[in-house]
Amino acid sequence: MVETIRSLKQEVRRLTLENRVCRAQGQLFEQLIEMAGSAPDQQLLKTSMQRTLGVTAQLSGTDMGSLFLLNDQGRVTDSLLTRGDVDTDMKSRLIGSVLDQGLAGWVKTHLDVGLIQDTHTDSRWLSLPSEPYAVRSALAVPIIRHNTLFGIITLMHPEPDHFDDASVGIIQTAARQMALAIEMARLYIRLEELNRIRTRAMERDMQLARQVQESFLPTQVPQMDGFVFAALNRPAHKVGGDFYHFFNLSRNRLGVAIGDVSGKGIAAALFMARLSSDLQYYAALHDNPAELFERLNAILSKRAQQGMFVTMVYVILETDTGRICWANAGHLVPVHMARTRIRMLGQAKKTGPPLGILPTAAWEVETFELQPGDGVILYTDGIIEARSPASELFGFRRLKRIIRRYPDAPVTLVRQIARAVEMFSYGAGQSDDLTMVAFRKETLHKA
């Protein structure tokens, strides 16, 4: 009967200690989860180490201990001592000595629990000169996970025979459970490091893509007598799919193109860059905008991947007469700017499909003659589809009001439109690229 009671008491004690270990582990996980994403990486790891060492010291009734974390080569990567009064130099000497000759070194070699009931009689204990505290009994437990040693917990007490079999068992249990918390912290740190590396690589790629994209955009607008030009390209991100171009053609003609490649980011930018090269080449070969679209469409239909396509307006301006002809491939209709009237230019029903969707398609050419003082603005949907924080669209009405104020000043006009869109969507952010091209035929007999 007495033996049964003693056995039951031991079992109750064991279960109580295990319950304390589980609660401590739960608290540790909660703390790590709260810190993840907000605390610096090293603080996260140090906190998990401090908590682990503190829990095991509390369970064993000690206030002295150490925790070493090891890499795959068995070298110490992080360490912690419960006593805070040990300077850095002494700490380094202690770590090096105990791992070479001391109890922790024995555990590292044998991958087994090291228990010393009396440091005066056990050769595994290494007494050092100027030791920061007196030790008579010690317990070192390996932290093993996935058959790999990645840590050693050492607990110390100033009296001999402090650790019994029950405390050894409970510390082993704690070490196994706490190993998961430390591993989680290390994996999280490694993941964050990889994320930073990936982010830096993506930023470099985006910057490179932006440089490539900018190299295909005009560095300046045309400068010619009788006309004023203005243009603006503002990607929503570092790179985008909007573009515009000017092409000097034969017989006093100028080609003007504006377009929007489906999608965003690097893929759209690279698609746009190659399209720009094609456009530059074929614009010189085709006097008819519809024929140019047919040639580009055939190329893009074969090349386009993952459903990418492009909307575009291409205008040919005769600079000596002011006559323009254009074709529209699924893009927004150009706007005619006159002092007395702001209106859509051409007929929406004559807008053909975007380039790169249908292998065979046709486009119609429209013509118009600009009078002195008349202008045209081409733009992408990032302007009229910009949204306010309340998800209200900027819309064509707002655009038209701004055009009415500055029909005679293309440079001022594109700046004011960009500024109005920015103010309108302030707080919601720019969700799409903004691109505009405006030109105006000057009045005769300028003052």
pLDDT tens digits along 328-375: 999 999 999 987 889 999 877 788 999 998 888 999 999 999 999 999
Structure tokens at 413: 């006009």
Extended beta strands in 193-234, E state: 227-234
Is residue 155 within 8 A of residue 137, CB to CB? The reply is no
Closest to 48 measured CA to CA, from 151, 122, 132: 151
Distances (CA, A) of 324 to 215, 289, 369, 408, 438: 28, 11, 6, 18, 14
Query: What integer is the mean pLDDT of 299-328?
Result: 89
Q: What are phi and psi of 330, to 5 degrees?
A: 70, 15
In whole numbers, what is the pLDDT of the chain averaged over residues? 81
State the pLDDT at residue 96: 54
Please report, for the chain, the start and end positions of each structural domain, with discontinuous segments joined by +: 2-194, 217-441
Q: How far apart are CA 368 and CA 324, in angstroms?
A: 5
Confidence at 86, pLDDT banded by 50, 70, 90:
very low
Q: How far apart are CA 362 and CA 358, in angstroms?
A: 10
Extended beta strands in 330-364, E state: 335-337, 342-344
- 59 versus 34: which is more confidently predicted? 59
Q: What percent of the chain has pLDDT over 90?
A: 34
Distances (CA, A) of 161 to 9, 123, 156, 185: 21, 16, 11, 34
Sheet of 76-81, strand order: 76-81, 64-70, 148-157, 137-145, 114-116
| Tens of pLDDT, residues 15-29 | 666 666 666 555 555
First-last CA distance in the chain: 120
Cα torsion angle, 285, 286, 291, 292, sign: positive
Q: Which residues pair with 121 in a beta bridge?
A: none
Distances (CA, A) of 440 to 171, 174, 269, 371, 410: 84, 79, 29, 9, 7
Confidence at 92, pLDDT banded by 50, 70, 90:
low
Is residue 138 within 8 A of residue 157, CB to CB? The reply is yes
Q: In which element (H, E) is residue 116 found?
A: strand 114-116
| Tens of pLDDT, residues 151-198 | 888 888 989 999 887 778 777 777 776 677 667 767 777 787 888 888
**Left (φ > 0), alpha (ψ -120 to 50) or beta: where does 86 sit?**
beta
| Tens of pLDDT, residues 254-301 | 999 999 988 666 677 778 878 888 998 999 999 999 999 999 999 988
> What would you measure as the largest C-alpha separation in the chain, in angstroms?
122
| Tens of pLDDT, residues 125-145 | 877 666 667 889 999 988 887
Is residue 108 within 8 A of residue 99, CB to CB? The reply is yes
The 3 state secondary structure assigned to 168-227 is HHHHHHHHHHHHHHHHHHHHHHHHHHHHHHHHHHHHHHHHHHHHHHHHHCCCCCCCECCE
Whether domain 217-441 has CATH 3.40.50.150: no
Query: Pseudo-torsion of CA 349, 350, 354, 357, nearest 10°?
Result: 90
The one-character DSSP state at 137 is E
Q: Which residues pair with 342 in a beta bridge?
A: 337
Distances (CA, A) of 174 to 33, 50, 169, 361: 19, 14, 9, 72
Strands 310-318 and 323-329: antiparallel
| Tens of pLDDT, residues 364-407 | 999 999 999 999 999 999 899 998 888 899 999 999 999 999 98
The residues, any chain, with a CB within 8 Å of residue 288's CB and separated by 6 or more, are 365
State the pLDDT at residue 190: 78
| CATH top-level class of 2-194 | alpha beta
Is residue 306 within 8 A of residue 355, CB to CB? The reply is no
Tell me the chain's radius of gyration from C-alpha atoms. 37
The one-character DSSP state at 113 is -
Residue in the block written with tokens 């035929």 = 441
Q: How far apart are CA 103 and CA 99, in angstroms?
A: 7
State the pLDDT at residue 85: 45
CA 254 to chain CA mean position, Å: 41
State the pLDDT at residue 359: 87
Q: How far apart are CA 300 and CA 357, in angstroms?
A: 8
Q: Say yes or no: do domains 2-194 and 217-441 share a fold.
A: no
Q: How far apart are CA 36 and CA 192, in angstroms?
A: 10
What count of other Cβ atoms lies within 10 Å of the Cβ of residue 143?
Answer: 24
Cα torsion angle, 414, 415, 417, 422, sign: positive
Q: What percent of the chain has pLDDT over 70?
A: 78
